[in-house]
Amino acid sequence: MRSMWRWTSVTSLSTKGARCRSGLSRRTPTANRTVGPTWAPLRYASSPLPELYQPEPLEEPMADNLNTAAGCRISIGTKKPSATKTEYEADVYVEVGEVEDLGEFGDTFSNVNFTALSNGRVRKYKGTADAGDMTLTVGLDNGDAGQLALKNAHADRSKGNYNIRITLNDGLPGDPTAEPPVPAVPPTTFYFGAKVMNNTVAAGSADNVVRRNVTLGINTEILEIPVAI
């Protein structure tokens, strides 16, 4: 006759007088039980837990080095010939007040083309560089020293260029009271030589601020000194 096999707890059975020390008993035939049937809870072998999802490490956020135009300044110097940082910095400048718009400036190269008959393709080359004209818009203030300097430079028809300095607002003020003191960081600065080619007054309508439009004809290479951060 076939024996019956069941799961029983350790405390409910005996095998050859020895007791099992494990949490579950061996599969024991019912004929060997010495006490009444006791059912042990059914247990399943636990399946391995899935490996937890590990997200990719986040990249370091990009540094935000952008700045608005608020805080930018333009100043006009003398006609002292200058080409290097040291020479430009040695000049004396007057800041132009009530500036609303600095316009744009920078080199643009003329297009020089050549077309070979053999392949019929146009090849482009860089020609002469033109730093262009920079148009300032300022609120008219005849008591401002910088605007008066622009008016005088516009009236000057002699040779030579006026030194122009433009500073952005990306510098740091520093803190001399800190321990140790934190030095100021000069902002990005542009230097170039130009002639004041235009000086017009724009009155506009009744609800308009009277403005002055000044055009600087840039005649030299633009020297850029980036912020040292």
Domain boundaries, the chain: 1-33, 73-225
Q: pLDDT at residue 6 above 90? A: no
Rounded distance between C-alpha atoms, residue 155 and residue 133, angstroms = 18
**Nearest CA to 222 among 109, 153, 132?**
132
Q: pLDDT at residue 20 above 80? A: no
CB-CB contact of 153 with 162 (8 Å) = yes
Per-residue model confidence as pLDDT tens digits over 116-146? 999 999 999 999 999 999 999 999 999 999 9
**Nearest CA to 168 among 119, 110, 122, 229?**
229
Per-residue model confidence as pLDDT tens digits over 23-63? 444 554 555 555 555 555 555 555 555 666 667 777 777 77
For residue 151, what pLDDT is reported?
96
Model-level pTM?
0.69
Beta bridge partners of 165: 75, 191
Per-residue model confidence as pLDDT tens digits over 181-196? 888 888 999 999 999 9
Domain 73-225: give its CATH code: 2.40.30
Backbone angles phi, psi at 198, to 5 degrees: -145, 140
Rounded distance between C-alpha atoms, residue 90 and residue 111, angstroms = 37
Per-residue model confidence as pLDDT tens digits over 60-90? 777 777 888 888 999 999 999 999 999 999 9
